[in-house]
Chains A and B, each alone.
Chain A
Amino acid sequence: MSSADNEGTGPEGPEDEGATPAAEQEAPPEAVSAEAEAAVPAEAEAEIAEPASAESTSDATAEPEAEPEPEPDPLRQPLLDLLRERLGDDLVGSEVAAGDIWVRVERSAWRRAGEVCKADLDMDYFCFLGGMDWLPAPDLSAEKVWDPDSEQPGEAATPAEAPTTYETGVAGGQTRFQVFARLMSTTSKVGITLKVDLDSDDPRLDSWIPVYRGADWHERECWEMYGFQFDGHPDLRHIYLPAEFEGHPQRKDFPLLAREVKPWPGLVDKEPIPGEDEEADATAGGET
């Protein structure tokens, strides 16, 4: 762990990505997950929602052998089935794990998915709506200084060109931008996370205001932070930032100025913890 190490803690290569979930599966899942889901009446299932990334090759080799047979969640699986029945082909990806449901829908069915959830799944509570930018985070280590002229800041998984495929999270995803929303039912106390892919060049989506009025402010924030257009929103304007602000701050390529001016101290100036360098080196693996 020398301090002069230049390797960033940015996005790790695909090998590391695959190694971690595989290592997790080696550990005994049942005991830990039984404690974690104490009151869920279901039997223990897969403990973490694994990223369904299509690009990671080592994942494909590791998964089929080591993964235990997940048992269906009696509370949530019927909801998922009901959703699948209503939405049909528009339900593009899904995951029921760790006591939670994730569902990814087609962009054209976004509003209808909300309506189905509200009407059929009894999801009367609107929790939040947010955006995701799957562009790998820029490498902010060491003496890197923001160069406004370069297109791709820092080192990405595939340097010197914008990635065409992205490593996305649970329930998959093919584009850089995603919107995800969380709903809940106050009667059955079950929540659901809905995701939808947006077009990378022209991120637009139907507004959820006709379904849930509370989406108003959340969509405004999403537009402000990511630049997503919400069709049907009556009043898409800034909510947090001043009216003349240019740019969309939450996007990964919007620089965090404090880190541009001064690199992350945790990477550069890090001192080894006295007496435990060897142990730290052994567990940490390839980072500073």
Chain B
Amino acid sequence: MTTVTEWQKEAYIAGQAADARVNVELETDGMTLNIGPQHPATHGTLRVVVRLDGEQVVWADPACGYMHRGYEKLLEVRKYPQITTLVNRLDWLGSFANEVPFILAAERLMDVEAPPRAQWIRTVLFEMARIANLTLFLGDMGVQLGAVTPVFYAFRDREYVLNLIEAATGGRFHPNYDRIGGLKDDLPKGWIDECKSTMQRVRNFCDEMEDLLLGNEIFNSRTRGIGVIPKHVALDYGLSGANVRASGVDWDIRRDEPSPLAWKDVEWKVWTHPDGDSFARYWVRLQETREATSIVEQLLDGLPAGPIMAKVPRIIKVPAGEAWVHTENPLGEMGYYIVSKGDLGPFRVKVRTPSFNNISILPWLLRGVYVPDVITILASLYFILGDIDR
């Protein structure tokens, strides 16, 4: 019943074996090296085929797709409330943030507005997803460079954030909490105080990272001037988020686009850095983590009372139309282009994930770079495989 024939299966296996053989034969004019798909430095199964001349890269070709799950096809056969479950798993480190643009797009098409309390709590959880995601990055970049200790601190302090997300939503990694018209539940008792103390803890962690890594001379010499991405190249390739802010582009969707979420109600700052190198990307993300803690505290202080869910029909049928909503996710700009024909489920969903574009710059960026710097650059660009491969 399957459309994949025996011949196809064998051809596929032969192709994989041929690719694997590349790793063993030693060519004298430049060595072709597979970085991945199983490799400690790639966050998951990303394979970067590089041709080396000594220790310098001559060309690089990322081969993604080892984790391709066919999201766009899958989303076409689901109903709207079922989609948040799937979509959590795109960027699994900051997974609440994946649900939000989709829900906002569906709400825009349905002309439904979630009540203010729900919007504020959504923003709180969105920023906590950002913190969970970025704290891992802050420790992880140390590990890629050889400093094995900061990552343990990162995981330790991240646990507090994940515990809070679990207390509110029921899931540490995949909350599945956003609903069209609001949220699934209200916050549990005592959550707000616990959250504030956790934010202080995260701030302490950021200070620690600043001392331990940012101030370290070896870290500086390994990251300054490495992987410089000029502004126009970054925008051409569609880099977004901290990557492009580290190249000097002053663009943050939370500030620049009208959104029902509560960012306009709090005071916060957008951080940019003119250099565009790996150090800048690390620095920008560190500042963003601090900023996120401040946003969360302000939001919790001003959380409005009220209902959690707007009045929506029990059976969700989104009217026909097209909508594009994007948000400033921890990894960059994530957006959903929903085409609806008035059914229970969408007709077509184009998922625009930030890491796909972030990685597409690698062939341009990695030319002439040393192998250790390849790792530094991969670490500083920060992608999640689920985001690249959808």
Q: Chain A residues in contact with chain B, CB under 8 A?
A: 9-12, 16-17, 20-21, 23-24, 27, 32-33, 35-40, 47-51, 98-100, 102, 124-128, 130, 132-133, 137, 140, 146, 148, 167, 169-170, 180, 182, 186, 189, 191, 193, 212-214, 216-217, 225, 238-247, 249-250, 255-257, 259-261, 264, 266, 273, 276, 279-280, 283-284, 287
CB atoms of A35 and B260 under 8 A apart: yes
Minimum Cβ distance to chain B for residue A65 (Å): 19
Residues in A with CB closer than 8 Å to B235 are 124-126, 186
Q: Does B182 lie at the interface of the complex (its beta carbon under 8 Å from any beta carbon of A)?
A: no
In the bound complex, how far is the Cα of B341 from the Cα of A170, in angstroms?
A: 11
Q: Does B352 lie at the interface of the complex (its beta carbon under 8 Å from any beta carbon of A)?
A: yes
Give the nearest-CB partner of B258 in chain A: A39
In the A-B complex, the 5 residue pairs with the smallest Cβ-Cβ separation, listed nearest first, are A39-B258, A240-B65, A214-B237, A214-B238, A240-B68
Q: A48-B111, A213-B236, A284-B315 are in contact. Are A20 and B342 (CB under 8 A)?
A: yes
Residues in B with CB closer than 8 Å to A273 are 314
CB atoms of A36 and B108 under 8 A apart: yes
Chain A facing B: main interface SS: loop
CB atoms of A189 and B342 under 8 A apart: no
In the bound complex, how far is the Cα of B347 from the Cα of A48, in angstroms?
A: 16
Q: A35-B113, A186-B235, A261-B1 are in contact. Are A170 and B321 (CB under 8 A)?
A: yes
Q: A24-B319, A182-B335 provided; 16 other pairs, C-beta below 8 A?
A: A9-B344, A11-B343, A32-B111, A36-B260, A48-B109, A49-B322, A98-B108, A124-B232, A140-B77, A169-B322, A214-B237, A244-B15, A245-B8, A246-B3, A250-B73, A256-B74
CB atoms of B324 and A182 under 8 A apart: yes
In the bound complex, how far is the Cα of B324 from the Cα of A39, in angstroms?
A: 17
CB atoms of A241 and B68 under 8 A apart: yes
CB atoms of B111 and A127 under 8 A apart: no
CB atoms of A20 and B77 under 8 A apart: no
Contact with A along B100-131 (1 / 0, CB 8 A): 00000000110101000000000000000000
Residues in B with CB closer than 8 Å to A128 are 238, 335, 350, 352, 357
Give the nearest-CB partner of A138 in chain B: B77
Residues in B with CB closer than 8 Å to A250 are 72-73
CB atoms of B3 and A255 under 8 A apart: yes
A-B contact count, CB below 8 Å?
A: 186
- State which of A40, A140, A239, A244 has its C-beta within 8 Å of the C-beta of B65: A239
CB atoms of A126 and B12 under 8 A apart: no
Minimum Cβ distance to chain A for residue B372 (Å): 26
Q: A137-B347, A247-B3 are in contact. Are A280 and B315 (CB under 8 A)?
A: yes
CB atoms of A40 and B12 under 8 A apart: no
Give the nearest-CB partner of A48 in chain B: B321
In the bound complex, how far is the Cα of B250 from the Cα of A266, in angstroms?
A: 46
Contact with A along B236-250 (1 / 0, CB 8 A): 111010000000011
Residues in B with CB closer than 8 Å to A170 are 321-322
CB atoms of A217 and B360 under 8 A apart: yes
Q: Chain B residues in contact with chain A, CB under 8 A?
A: 1-3, 8, 11-12, 15-16, 64-65, 68, 70, 72-74, 76-77, 79, 82, 108-109, 111, 113, 232-233, 235-238, 240, 249-251, 256-258, 260, 264, 313-315, 317, 319-324, 326, 333, 335, 337, 339, 341-345, 347-348, 350, 352, 356-357, 360-361, 364, 389
CB atoms of B65 and A241 under 8 A apart: yes
Minimum Cβ distance to chain B for residue A140 (Å): 6
Minimum Cβ distance to chain B for residue A205 (Å): 16
Residues in A with CB closer than 8 Å to B72 are 225, 250
- State which of B11, B240, B257 has its C-beta within 8 Å of the C-beta of A244: B11
Minimum Cβ distance to chain B for residue A56 (Å): 10
Minimum Cβ distance to chain B for residue A227 (Å): 14
CB atoms of B343 and A186 under 8 A apart: no
Residues in B with CB closer than 8 Å to A240 are 64-65, 68, 389
- Identify 5 residue pairs between A and B in the complex whose beta-carbon atoms are under 8 Å apart, listed by A's number: A48-B108, A137-B77, A169-B322, A217-B360, A276-B314
Minimum Cβ distance to chain B for residue A270 (Å): 11
Residues in B with CB closer than 8 Å to A167 are 341
CB atoms of B3 and A148 under 8 A apart: yes
- State which of B1, B256, B319, B352 has its C-beta within 8 Å of the C-beta of A260: B1
In the bound complex, how far is the Cα of B73 from the Cα of A99, in angstroms?
A: 28
In the bound complex, how far is the Cα of B342 from the Cα of A240, in angstroms?
A: 31
Residues in B with CB closer than 8 Å to A279 are 314
CB atoms of B111 and A27 under 8 A apart: yes
Minimum Cβ distance to chain A for residue B72 (Å): 6
Residues in A with CB closer than 8 Å to B109 are 48
In the bound complex, how far is the Cα of B343 from the Cα of A247, in angstroms?
A: 27
Residues in B with CB closer than 8 Å to A146 are 1
Residues in B with CB closer than 8 Å to A169 are 321-322, 339
Residues in A with CB closer than 8 Å to B12 are 242-245
